Amino acid sequence: MKTYRTLAVAAAAWLAATSAQAAYTLPAATVITGQVSGASTTLLGLDHGFADEPGSNTTALAPSDLEFLSGDALVAIDFFSDGQVQVWNNSGATGLAGSYSFSFSFAGIGLPIASFALLDLSGVNGGSISAQLTGPHTISLTLNNLSFTSEFGSFTTQLSVNAVPEPTSLALAGAGLGLLALRRRARA
């Protein structure tokens, strides 16, 4: 009886520990395509040297480099392999006037994006920011008349891609449920 309980508790603990590691990082080969409207209508990407040319709105994830600049060079967007997205005020002043609506789609991640949310807004004093998941591989970010705590201030968002449970995790869960059923039956 005690063995069944110990096995069931151990299986549940292992399953909980592996489920907690479900968030998955963006592969280095992830290709990001962005669009912007509002105060700027051009998005310039790292792969094109931030030049205003056809296809400049598409770039590969470069975890140690900035990926995008708005065409007016006032907003910089940096994607990280852990799913964090840092948005920088590149205006040199504490205010970023106007509205910017960004949309980014991701190719090469395989799994759908599970969530996109604001993470750290401590560098923002005012204005509004909206972060939305708009499709399985698409996010949108809208900035309206932002005020930052310092020149070249920033804020951070987080996107998460959930890994599909491995068959061994599902098998272990099934085994745990089976042990609980056996235990219940033995008591009856």
145/178 same-domain check:
no
51/128 same-domain check:
yes
Secondary structure of residue 33 in the 3-state scheme: strand
16/81 same-domain check:
no
Residue with tokens 């963006």: 26
Residue span of the structural domain in which 115 resides: 23-162
Give the per-residue pLDDT at 3. 59
Whether 145 has a pLDDT exceeding 60, the answer reads yes
78/145 same-domain check:
yes
11/80 same-domain check:
no
Two tokens at 115? 């969530």
Segments in the chain forming alpha helices (H): 2-19, 167-187
Domain count, the chain: 2
pTM above 0.85, yes or no: no
Do 11 and 172 meet the contact criterion of CB atoms below 8 Å apart?
A: yes
- How many beta carbons lie within 10 A of that of residue 77, not counting itself? 25
Strand 58-60, strand 75-79: pairing: unpaired
172/126 same-domain check:
no
pLDDT in tens, 91-129: 999 999 999 999 999 998 888 999 999 999 999 999 999
> What is the residue-averaged pLDDT of the chain?
85
122/50 same-domain check:
yes
Mean pLDDT of 40-66: 94
112/130 same-domain check:
yes
92/107 same-domain check:
yes
Place 13 in a pLDDT band, splitting at 50, 70 and 90.
Answer: low
